[in-house]
Chain A
Amino acid sequence: MWTWFYKLASPPYVYRVAAALMPWFLGLAAVTIGYGLIGGLVFAPPDYQQGDAFRIIYVHVPSAILSVTVYTIMAVASAIALIWRIKVGHAVAAASAPIGASLTLLALVTGSMWGKPMWGTYWAWDPRLTSELILLFLYVGVMSLRSAFEDPARGDRAAALLAVVGVVNVPIVHFSVVWWNSLHQGSTLVTLEGPKMQSSMLWPLLSMLLGFTLFYGAVLCIRVQGEVLQRERQSAWVREAIKS
């Protein structure tokens, strides 16, 4: 039953799986993001309060949600790599960090673009904005620590430990910045009464969220292949894989 899990520890197996999965992720991401963009930017009605400016949520919300999810994935992969000494975990973590950092930056940029017409300012020291910014700093810390070591194996393990320490800190940072009064609107998607959003607006958003996740999967597959090849460049299977 657990054999598939053990196989995931083998770099050549992961290399092949990533190569096989990548086109599927990319194709499905194109479909779902395509539907989300058309549905969200063309067919969804303008918001009664915010007009057309609300449409930025179709990029902002998926990237913000994924920025935290990717950090969690990175930390879990790092923990697996540290505890069971599975090198592929480091490859997944190293491949995830730049993607997650880019998504965090995207969430911050789209958020401030939306903030200008709505709040009248590009930046406000709002709890969610601030914790997103701190998340970006955490990503930068993990990436810089990994590249600071001359021995890549040591850099991997140091960055993995920092990622695990960071993930313990993420909720603390989040709840500590909630200390201030929030400008940011509350959650619309997850409430006790179900989503507080009209279905013509909601479906494209959910589709975008799924599409962004699939796109992350596709980019992760590409980057993991690169990381695995680089880490295993001395071994025989890499020479064969590159030849074919």
Chain B
Amino acid sequence: MTVSAWEAFWLLVQRELRLSFRRPEQLLQPLVFFLIVTTLFPLGLSLQLSLLRDIAPGVLWVAALLSALLSLDFLFKSDADDGTLEQLALSGHGLTVIVAAKTLAHWLVTGLALVLVSPIVGTALGIPVGAFATMLGSLALGTLTLSWLGAVGAGLTIGLRRGNVLLSLIVLPLAMPLLIFGAGATDRAISGTNPAGALYLLAALCVFTCTLAPFAAAAALRITLE
């Protein structure tokens, strides 16, 4: 039976989603981590909501980046460990399609979940409801971009013993523009100025990585798998 590239893409997305929902703890852990990290900041800094509101965008975004980074670990890991990834690479569909499907599915269960949880964190940090739309939009764009960047980093560090720390070392510098624009947009929305500029730049970065990162991640896998 031959399957076209599109069909292979969607089949793989479905497979990834099904696998993720059968291991719900893998889904929940990054979210709980996100909540715990954001709890640390008020405990360490101050209880005044007015002060919290000033630092809320930064706290929210740093916590989101760290949580998304944590979840990158299981993007390729289990498939690389049991040899599924090699079988997929041999399937003849091109690693780019496979990487794109896996990364998209990964974002749907980690990034999107994080976006959906963020209003709880936002409320706790004193972000006004009026800024929620910007916060959700910027987080959605930012986590999707981070998933693509992370796919490159995760592809490069498959099979390394201390790969986890190295993954952060590689991906975080590349993700710094996301933090600047994402936190910037949220900050502007809170202070009542127009956040459109920062959001457009985030969207541009997202489109840029969506188009180029699958190829880079496939090249990374080709290096580490052979």
Contact = CB atoms under 8 A, between A and B. Distances in A.
Interface residues of A, number: 25
Interface string A129-166: 00000100110110011001100001001100110111
A48 interface: no
Nearest to A157: B223
Interface stretch (B41-49, B92-100, B176-184): B176-184
B224 interface: yes
Contact of B173 (A141, A145, A149, A179): A141
Nearest to A178: B180
A140 B168 CA distance: 12
Task: Identify whether the interface residues of A are mostly helix, strand, loop, or mixed.
Answer: helix
Contacts of B162: 148
Contacts of B216: 161, 164-165
Contacts, number: 68
A86 to B, nearest CB: 16
Contacts of B156: 145, 158, 161-162
A177 B176 CA distance: 9
A241 B140 CA distance: 58
B211 to A, nearest CB: 12
Given A144-B166, A157-B223, A162-B156, A134 B181 contact: no
A158 B163 CA distance: 13
A172 interface: yes
B169 A141 contact: yes
Interface in A190-229: none
A145 B170 contact: yes
B169 A144 contact: yes
A176 B166 contact: no
Contacts of A168: 212
A158 B176 contact: no
Given A148-B162, A149-B160, A158-B220, A140 B169 contact: yes
B172 interface: yes
Contacts of A169: 173-174, 177
A80 interface: no
Interface of B: 152, 156-157, 160, 162-163, 166, 169-170, 172-174, 176-177, 180-181, 184, 201, 205, 212, 216, 219-220, 223-224, 226
21 contacts: A134-B173, A134-B176, A138-B173, A138-B174, A140-B169, A145-B157, A148-B162, A148-B163, A149-B160, A158-B224, A161-B152, A161-B156, A162-B152, A164-B216, A165-B152, A168-B212, A173-B176, A176-B177, A176-B181, A177-B177, A179-B184
